[in-house]
Every structure is written in structure tokens, then in C-alpha cells.
């Protein structure tokens, strides 16, 4: 994402202690406005942010900010922009582990003669690191799977094995087992090659929820060691 200036509305967090109430007011108005708290500040941004003046909210003032001065907010913007992009392309959003997972609109494969549909999903997280005092933003992509029966009901592996005797067939689709049902030692490489990299390529550019600001994903993956803190 570019390190450029952008217009947002800002207030002190002490003047807006319960964001849930303000979000409810915005939702009732049908406005496209997002809120984000970064330390002592609350940012308001989005397509309809100028309408906030009509609510007579305390303390919100228009300011021009440089994006990289607020890296946590930038990481949030990347996540929101990519989420909007995926949903506009038909991806289904579900929440797991406290963050959204996006499933492709069509099954990746079917098994048991078409009785079960295997959907491919992506668990997404954004992080930022510093290189020479400049933030570098990253996207962590993990593969998830959802299995549905012919009625669209989600199934767990116990049900798949007990009712359909198809746990091995599903595991082969997921690259966990080889065709001879032995453990696949190349599962990590295949998931990167067959699933993660194509996903990144197909969604390599998207708009952020700011006026005329775009982000792009590098196609070359990076190796990093994750610590405790996530953004």
C-alpha cells in the first residue's frame, strides 16, 4: 500500500468510549462509515464519513494523516479492503478463531459421487514488521476446508467418516493423504503451490476503504517467525 496522505475524521477515545453505540447509529442511517480505535484516538473513515457532522458527534474533526504513521490502522485497512474485495466476488464470510474466514462461492471438489461438496477457504491475518524504521505489511494465508452435504449442511470429520465412510477421500482432496492413503509428506508445499499462491494471484489488487487508495500483494512469499503479538 502507498505511504500517502489521506483525509479522515478523528476524535479522542475518551469522547467516544463505546464504539458499539456509535456503530449502531451509523448502521441505522445506512452509511458506509468505519470506526477504528488506535490508542487514544478513534478514526472514522469510509464513503459516507462526511455525513457524521449531521449526528453532532463530540470531537470528530477532519484531519490529513500520512498512512505509515499509523501502521496498526494500515494493517486494519488492508484486512478490510481485502475482505470487501472477496465478498464482492462471492466469497462467503464465516468467523472462526475470532477472525473471518472466506470460502469460495463454488465447491473446490465433490466426493462420494457428488454427495459431499468440499469448499476451500482462507483464514487471513495481517501483520506489520519494521525495516529501517519503515513498516512492511504482510498477509498470512492459511487454508481451511468446509464440507457440506447435498442439503448444504456443514459436516465434521466424524460425520463424514461415520455416515459416508469418506474421510480418506476428503483428506486426499485436502492434500493430506496420497492416493494410496499414506500421509503426504509434501502437504505444506502443495498447499502453498496449489491453493495459497493462486489465491494471492487472483486477488493481488484491491481498494482500501479510503478514497482512491489501492493495495497490491506481492506474489513472492516471505518466510517469517511469528511471535505472540498479532494485528
**Region of poorest pLDDT, from 2-11, 37-46, 95-104:** 95-104
| Confidence at 231, pLDDT banded by 50, 70, 90 | very low
Is 227 a residue whose pLDDT tops 80? Answer: no
Contact residues for 66 (Cβ-Cβ < 8 A; gap 6+):
3, 4, 5
Average pLDDT, the chain: 90
Beta-bridged to residue 111, according to DSSP, are 116
Q: Where are the alpha helices (DSSP H) in 89-192?
A: 157-164, 167-173, 187-191
Q: State the pTM of this model.
A: 0.88
DSSP per residue, 9-46: EEEEGGG---HHHHHHHHHHHT---EEEEETTEEEEES
**For the chain, which residues make up each domain, given as ranges?**
5-67, 72-216
Express as a percent the part of the chain with pLDDT over 70: 94
How high is the pLDDT of residue 58?
A: 63
How high is the pLDDT of residue 228?
A: 57
How is domain 5-67 classified at the architecture level of CATH?
2-Layer Sandwich (3.30)
Cα angle vertex 165, ends 160, 166, to 5°? 65
Handedness of CA 179, 183, 185, 191 (dihedral sign): positive
Q: How large is the average pLDDT for residues 24-46?
A: 90
Q: How large is the average pLDDT for residues 112-123?
A: 96
Handedness of CA 49, 55, 56, 58 (dihedral sign): negative
Is 124 a residue whose pLDDT tops 80? Answer: yes
| Confidence at 131, pLDDT banded by 50, 70, 90 | confident
The pLDDT tens digits of the residues spanning 62-79 come to 899 999 999 999 999 999
The pLDDT tens digits of the residues spanning 151-185 come to 999 999 999 999 999 999 999 999 999 999 999 99
Cα distance between residue 55 and residue 35, in whole Å:
15
Is 87 a residue whose pLDDT tops 80? Answer: yes
Amino acid at each position: 500500500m502507498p505511504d500517502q496522505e489521506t483525509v479522515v475524521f478523528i476524535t479522542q477515545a475518551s469522547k467516544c468510549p463505546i464504539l458499539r453505540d456509535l456503530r449502531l447509529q451509523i448502521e441505522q442511517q445506512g452509511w458506509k462509515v468505519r470506526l477504528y480505535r488506535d490508542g487514544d484516538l478513534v478514526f472514522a473513515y469510509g464513503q459516507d464519513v462526511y455525513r457524521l457532522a449531521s449526528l453532532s458527534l463530540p470531537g470528530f474533526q477532519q484531519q490529513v494523516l500520512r498512512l505509515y504513521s499509523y501502521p496498526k490502522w494500515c494493517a486494519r485497512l488492508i484486512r478490510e479492503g481485502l475482505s470487501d474485495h472477496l465478498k464482492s466476488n462471492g466469497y462467503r464470510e464465516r468467523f472462526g478463531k475470532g477472525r473471518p474466514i472466506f470460502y469460495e462461492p463454488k465447491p473446490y471438489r465433490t466426493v462420494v459421487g457428488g454427495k459431499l461438496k468440499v469448499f476451500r477457504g482462507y483464514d487471513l491475518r495481517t501483520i506489520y514488521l519494521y525495516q529501517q524504521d519503515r513498516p512492511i505489511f504482510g498477509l498470512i494465508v492459511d487454508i481451511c476446508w468446509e464440507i457440506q452435504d447435498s442439503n448444504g449442511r456443514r459436516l465434521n470429520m466424524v460425520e463424514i467418516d461415520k455416515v459416508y465412510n469418506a474421510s480418506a477421500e476428503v483428506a486426499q482432496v485436502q492434500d493430506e493423504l496420497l492416493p494410496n492413503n499414506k500421509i503426504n509428506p509434501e502437504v505444506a508445499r502443495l498447499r502453498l503451490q496449489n491453493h495459497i499462491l493462486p489465491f494471492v494471484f487472483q486477488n493481488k489488487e484491491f481498494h482500501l476503504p479510503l478514497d482512491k487508495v489501492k493495495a497490491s500483494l506481492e506474489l513472492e512469499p516471505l518466510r517469517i517467525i511469528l511471535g505472540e503479538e498479532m494485528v
